[in-house]
A and B are shown apart, each in its own frame.
Chain A
């Protein structure tokens, strides 16, 4: 068989390694065979290609060192920075918040961990483990790790020496320039060179090729030049409507913290591509970010009617039902996920909780036992914590205490476990221990209002009104509409002003 044809066939079968070796052999014989050269480039790129739209995550540096921020205190419901402000959203009272201080999401995505904290210190203080830490910039080691090729030296030097290559030569040849661009961007991860090539190429085709404009926008986006990226994407959309471009333009607006503009872009996209699930997902995510769960779930439902195996949509709808007091509905959605072949600790944990609250007691504990046996290091703490909740529900405080201690020993920064342990100690009348646990929970998770409220009401009962007053204000800062906290504050104020 013709070796070029076999390489092509290998590429189509997605056997990239073998394809690359075949191409290398061919190139050794004839270094100027452009077809093989392009094929090798494509194979190398495909090997390392990541869906950068899904993996995108805003780094600490971008969040703080951007100069695009306009309003410090945005109007309610127009900013992703303070999700608590939107009207009619869920509150912490019945939907807990994640470690980074956002409402819990149905699925873990890079974006769900990236709350936008108010201060740099807060950003650095959020419990940083290998699982939850956010990168310092989006162009950091993490991206490189996703595409490690540029860090490992290849035998006989790199395939293409970027510093030696004459980009101008290739820019005018679209058949060569496009694969080369993708290779530089994804394989070499050199945005500077990629941008250079894209600029030259778009000039060469007299600004008529929308593809180059999208690529330019991608480069600008990666470099943090949001307004330039916006311009490129908009201009590309005028020439040709493409789902990816809509999504990318939406991301630009999200980065600029203009979720409403992002929603507009996605809706325009839906006019061209009705019921397109990626666009619907994007809209649902933005609504979730704005803490508008009803709208978010509405779009997720639309996704499920189009694509009944969309894990994210099913999980999010399930989560919504669970926290709106319909665990039996949530149970159905999670069971659907199980039927689809998902088999992990988180799912069993959720199933167990749903069974318990939907009063299907016979399945509850076996679900948790499955979850425990499947759990990895990072989620075992949450499972112990949930078993602790079941134990409290059953009334076995001794078991609950043990479970919560296990949760803490698995993850020494598990603030809700500390809080619940404090409540259990308080019930046993051990005030000092309880107070210490509340303090620990509060220092680990300043976004939770429960430890503050518990600590404050404990101090109030103990007669330490000053401490109680200081702490209750923090509780109200975390959750301004918490009525018992407000009542406690009012009672304390009465104490202080009373003559």
Chain B
């Protein structure tokens, strides 16, 4: 961006609500807005990932307050709300995809659980597990045969149980087999992404189908009432052994008429499926991994943020329209439809807390958040139609409202990339000082007396070598080395003193700098004037040191002298039963500041 315009328009957005202590950790796919009670008051439904294993909750915000929360069993991959039927009042359902199930909530109560159909288990694999159950087979033979099978059909075609046993040690395999062989063998796939697709009507509250991407490389379209599979689309050709897993899904159109499902896949491909297709078509192979994607409802143009810090737009036929280089890595994307300006703006959240709004390739606004925004959605929240909801990586929630009078400056220069004229970089002169007259004189002197100078230098160098060797020996003898010399213990010592005094904290860190050998049986001893300092732990025991790891040891030291003087403290690393210390360092203690 060569533009120097200040794009921050504070007058466009109102700060409606900020809660820095919301402690909701989530992504865009797990946030949705929905009129849960059919009263026109839209709620914010968000799946909180908690710590990633615990505290996983489905939270509903009504206005600025937390309305309800429901515990979830597993980490969700997506949350979406949709209308299942035409019954009055029109209460939408909330679908939470998690593991291999989709949980449907109505009125925020569990309503239905849809499990993805089990996959076929390889007959040979089933046989093997049958045999081991009836104890006709040794465990190591089972592992070997499974390994052969894996090479033959591929790792992802095995059941999770076989995958797991192949990753175990021989010792653990036996107990694993004993525990699990009694149960029938199943092969389950899991949901990777979820979205909705209107069934027959385009209006806002029309019945929608769920569109689910699975780990086995399929996209399923589910009937909203009966939860039968209406369409099953493979993402790659049948004979292809490499499974293409969808990472992000987007759908537009109507299921009954004509629809397009775009899947951004983990191998960096964009694949398109349309009504009646059983196999998806490769639309385009991306140059980098996709991060987030949206598909425009009007012209089915695909805007996608990639890991190489670019935002790219493709036409519905997969033709690259434009590329914008982002100033930082993108985290998520959301669409901001502005019907009154007949435009759709794309908000891209960047690492570092910037949120850039693009109309096409032109940046129209910038919003600054205190932290990287991990999840962002735009839509109707409460009574307000244009609300932008942001969750940051540190778990805070921000709601901004687009002013009714807001008008984005959509007519800008067509191209906002200012190209630097070629050759300007070469025209910048480097500031190299000129060689002075003095330098020339000295060079003359050097040329005239070269032999003498060389001899003097060599003589001095020899003298220096002797001096250095002597100093080294002295340092060795006084054990004054924080880093071991060759042949000794491969340990490095560093020390730090923290605090203002008279109480200081001394942090000693030891590191084993050898490639593979362990060091053990060391201790740290402090040598100091006991009239000046008193120490909490004058001796510290050192555990075994693993190569490469740095071990910090802490102790407190107090200056007890009446006068505000400072002294040296010697740190000695000693080996049990050896009188000569291994390493040593002198710490010049800071003067302590006696506040007046």
Name A residues whose Cβ lies closer than 8 Å to a Cβ of B. Answer: 60, 124-125, 127-131, 133, 135-137, 139-142, 144-145, 324-326, 328-329, 332, 358-362, 364-366, 368-369, 372, 377-378, 387, 394, 396, 399, 402-403, 405-406, 408-409, 412-413, 421, 431-433, 435-437, 439-440, 443-444, 493-494, 496-499
Contacts of B483 in A (CB 8 A): 405, 408, 421, 437
The answer on a CB contact under 8 Å between B436 and A133 is no
* Closest residue on chain A to residue B464 by CB atoms: A365
Looking at the assembled complex, report how far the CB atom of B533 sits from the nearest CB atom of chain A, in whole angstroms: 13
Residue from A142, A329, A433 having most chain B Cβ neighbours under 10 A: A433
The answer, yes or no, to whether B267 is at the interface (CB within 8 Å) is yes
Q: Roughly how many angstroms separate A326 CA and B438 CA in the complex, as a whole number?
A: 10
A496 and B307: CB pair below 8 A? Answer: yes
Q: Whole-angstrom distance between the alpha carbons of A499 and B594 in the complex?
A: 61
- Interface contact A137-B593, CB-CB below 8 Å: yes
Q: Which of B48-56, B149-157, B377-385, B453-461 contacts A (4 or more CB under 8 A)?
A: B453-461
22 A–B contact pairs at CB < 8 A?
A124-B499, A125-B496, A128-B498, A129-B587, A129-B590, A130-B566, A130-B590, A141-B592, A141-B596, A326-B436, A360-B446, A369-B467, A377-B588, A406-B468, A406-B472, A409-B480, A409-B482, A412-B493, A436-B513, A437-B492, A493-B308, A494-B308
- Residues in chain B near residue A137, CB distance under 8 A: 593, 595
B183 part of interface (Cβ distance < 8 Å) = no
Known: A136-B500, A358-B442. 8 other contacts (CB 8 A): A140-B595, A362-B453, A369-B467, A409-B481, A435-B548, A436-B492, A436-B513, A493-B308
Contact with A along B438-455 (1 / 0, CB 8 A): 110011011001001110
The smallest C-beta distance from A467 to any residue of chain B, in angstroms, reads 11
- B residues whose Cβ falls under 8 Å from a Cβ of A: 267-268, 286-289, 306-309, 432-433, 436, 438-439, 442-443, 445-446, 449, 452-454, 456-457, 460-461, 463-465, 467-469, 471-472, 475, 480-483, 485, 490, 492-500, 509, 511, 513-515, 547-548, 550, 564, 566, 585-596
Asked if residues A499 and B588 are in contact (CB atoms below 8 Å), the reply is no
The smallest beta-carbon distance between B350 and chain A, in angstroms, is 15
The reply to whether A358 and B439 form a contact with Cβ atoms under 8 Å apart is yes
Cα A366 to Cα B286 with chains together (Å): 65
Q: Which residue of A lies closest to B310 (CB)?
A: A497
Given contacts A124-B498, A413-B494, A440-B511, contact A365 B460 (CB under 8 A): yes
Contact A324 B433 (CB under 8 A): yes
Contact of A409 (CB < 8 Å), options: B475, B496, B498, B511: B475
Q: Which residue of A lies closest to B438 (CB)?
A: A328
- Please state if B548 and A432 are interface contacts (CB–CB under 8 Å): yes
Q: Which A residues lie within 8 Å of B585 (CB)? A: 409, 412
A399 and B465 in contact, given A329-B438, A408-B482, A409-B481 (Cβ under 8 angstroms):
yes
List the 4 closest A-B pairs by CB distance, nearest first: A365-B460, A129-B588, A362-B456, A497-B288
Q: Are A332 and B596 in contact (CB under 8 A)?
A: no
A364 touches B457 (CB 8 A): yes
Q: CA–CA, A281 to B555, complex, Å? A: 45
The smallest beta-carbon distance between B290 and chain A, in angstroms, is: 10
Q: Which of B439, B457, B494, B588 contacts A378 (CB 8 A)?
A: B588
Q: How far is the CA of A329 from the CA of B433 in the complex (A)?
A: 11
Closest to A321 in B: B433
Contact of A499 among B267, B493, B495 (CB under 8 A): B267
Note all chain A residues with C-beta closer than 8 A to B511. Answer: 436, 439-440
Residues B513 and A499 in contact, CB atoms below 8 Å apart? no
B279 to chain A minimum Cβ distance, whole angstroms, is 22
Contact A332 B289 (CB under 8 A): no
Bound together, the chains give a CA A46 to CA B457 distance in angstroms of: 51
Other-chain residue from B465, B472, B547 in contact with A405 (beta carbon distance below 8 A): B472
A369 to B475, CA, bound (A): 18
In angstroms, Cα B501 to Cα A135, docked, is 11
**With the chains together, A332 CA to B308 CA distance in Å?**
53
> Which A residues lie within 8 Å of B433 (CB)?
324-326
List chain A residues, Cβ under 8 A from B593. 135-137, 140-142
CB-CB < 8 A to A127: which residues of B? Answer: 496
Q: Enumerate chain A residues within 8 angstroms of B472, measured Cβ to Cβ.
A: 402, 405-406
**Within the complex, what minimum Cβ distance (angstroms) separates B16 from chain A?**
26
Min distance, Cβ A430 to any Cβ of chain B, angstroms: 8
**Which of A432, A443, A497 is in CB contact (< 8 Å) with B514?**
A432
Residue of chain B at shortest CB distance from A366: B460
**A387–B463 Cα gap in the complex (Å)?**
13
Which chain B residues border A325 with CB–CB below 8 Å? 432-433
Instruction: Find chain A residues with CB under 8 A from B471 CB.
Output: 406
A130 touches B453 (CB 8 A): no
Distance of A130 Cα from B591 Cα, bound (Å): 5
- Give the residue name and chain of the A residue nearest to B588 (CB): A129
Which has the most chain B C-beta neighbours within 10 Å: A361, A377, A403? A361
Minimal beta-carbon separation of B474 from chain A (angstroms): 9
Residue picked from A141, A368, A435, A493, most chain B C-beta under 10 Å: A141
B566 touches A360 (CB 8 A): no
Chain B residue nearest to A431 in the complex (CB): B515
Least CB distance, B349 to chain A, in whole angstroms:
18
CB atoms of A406 and B475 under 8 A apart: yes
Closest chain B residue, CB of each to CB of A129:
B588
The answer to whether A329 touches B436 (Cβ under 8 A) is: yes
Of all chain A residues, which has the CB nearest B439?
A: A328
Q: Considering only CB atoms, which chain A residue lies closest to B547 in the complex?
A: A432
CB contacts (< 8 Å) of A368 on chain B: these are 464
The answer to whether A144 and B500 touch (CB under 8 A), given A328-B436, A499-B288, is no
B452, B509, B511: most-surrounded residue (chain A CB, <10 A) = B511
Q: How many Å from the CB of A252 to the closest CB on chain B?
A: 22
Within the complex, what minimum Cβ distance (angstroms) separates A240 from chain B?
33
Q: With A141-B594, A360-B442 as given contacts, are A125 and B498 in contact (CB-CB < 8 Å)? A: yes
Name the B residues within 8 Å of A387 (CB-CB). Answer: 464, 468
Let me know if A399 and B468 touch, CB within 8 A. Answer: yes
Query: Are A139 and B460 closer than 8 Å at their CB atoms?
Result: no
Check if B442 sits within 8 Å of A359, measured CB to CB: yes
By a CB distance below 8 angstroms, the chain B residues around A444 are: 494, 496
